[in-house]
Amino acid sequence: MWTHRHALGPVARRAVAALTFIGKHPVSTAKSILSLDDSHTLDDTLFARIAREIEERGYSICPTALPEPLARALYQHGQSMKKQEFTSAGIGRGEDFVKSDFVRTDQICWITGESTAGASWLDWAGGLQRFLNRRLFLGLFSFESHFAHYAPGTYYKRHYDAFRGEANRVLSLVVYLNPGWQPDDGGELVLYRDDRDDHGTRVVPLMGTVVAFLSEEFPHEVLPAQRDRYSIAGWFRVNTSVNNRLDPPR
Ligand SMILES: O=C(O)CCC(=O)C(=O)O
Ligand SMILES: [Fe+2]
């Protein structure tokens, strides 16, 4: 659908070069290695779809895709978290961090894997990371993610998750934890094709929907919602540690 490609950043260029290579030399599926049980097979089917769609158009939107038990565990964990576990989200990292109500007003809590649900989530994301590295040679090195709570009326204005040239966030991953979300509840993610696109593609934040997109490529925003909106947002990164500076500096 989105065939237009503008000047790519170095990471995206590398990804596209790898994808072109794959296109000419189809790699064997990982299914034979991983078909240990049904959940792996289901994961593989989903991971293969995400890989294919990222290859074809840079993003993937998969409704009711997150494995049901994982979605339920994450939902319950999100609901059980106390208000004080969440902090106001900001923009920028390390010393560049600033809080900006103009840009975003959601509340977040980083996932460390201390809870069972959080650990299962990191495990699942690790499976996706390994699959994408095998299939697309993306060189994804680490993953960071947080729960996000958007109270009614809160938002995240149009932004990129990574900037060309300095980017080490390669792929953004978002999953939604909102059972029974109605069309007039608002809170859609709007994914834009590029800087000139004002229309975008709207994603309803319904329970189990999985969205992945190249972080440098797609501006996006979260529209204000009428009710509490829960999600997890995460980013796969390449390794940019230099000398003794640890990356990420969080
Ligand atoms: O929750 C969403 O739909 C997207 C959130 C987002 O863009 C972000 O946290 O960077
Ligand atoms: Fe974002």
Contact assessment for residue 225 and residue 185, using Cβ atoms and an 8 Å cutoff: yes
Is 90 exceeded by the pLDDT of residue 217? yes
pLDDT tier for residue 102 given thresholds of 50, 70 and 90 = confident
Atom nearest to 148 CA in ligand 1: 1
Is 80 exceeded by the pLDDT of residue 155? yes
Burial of 181 (0-12, 13-18, 19+ CB in 10 A): buried
Q: What is the pTM assigned to this prediction? A: 0.82
60 CA distance to ligand 1 middle (Å): 15
- Ligand 1 pocket check for 174: Cβ under 6 Å: yes
- Predicted confidence at residue 239, as pLDDT, reads 84
Q: What is the mean pLDDT of residues 6-33?
A: 42
Q: What is the mean pLDDT of residues 92-108?
A: 75
Q: Which ligand is nearest to the Cα of residue 106, counting in written order?
A: 1
Gap between the Cα atoms of 169 and 235, Å rounded: 6
For the chain, which domains are there? 10-237 (2.60.120.620)
31 CA distance to ligand 2 middle (Å): 31
Is 60 exceeded by the pLDDT of residue 1? no
- Predicted confidence at residue 241, as pLDDT, reads 64
Q: Which ligand is nearest to the Cα of residue 211, counting in written order?
A: 1
**Probe target for ligand 1 pocket from 207, 231, 236, with the most ligand atoms within 8 Å of CB:** 231
- Predicted confidence at residue 240, as pLDDT, reads 72
140: helix, strand or coil: coil
Q: What is the mean pLDDT of residues 206-219?
A: 97
160 CA distance to ligand 2 middle (Å): 6
Alpha helices in the chain (DSSP H): 10-24, 31-34, 38-57, 68-80, 116-136
Is 90 exceeded by the pLDDT of residue 83? no
Is 80 exceeded by the pLDDT of residue 30? no
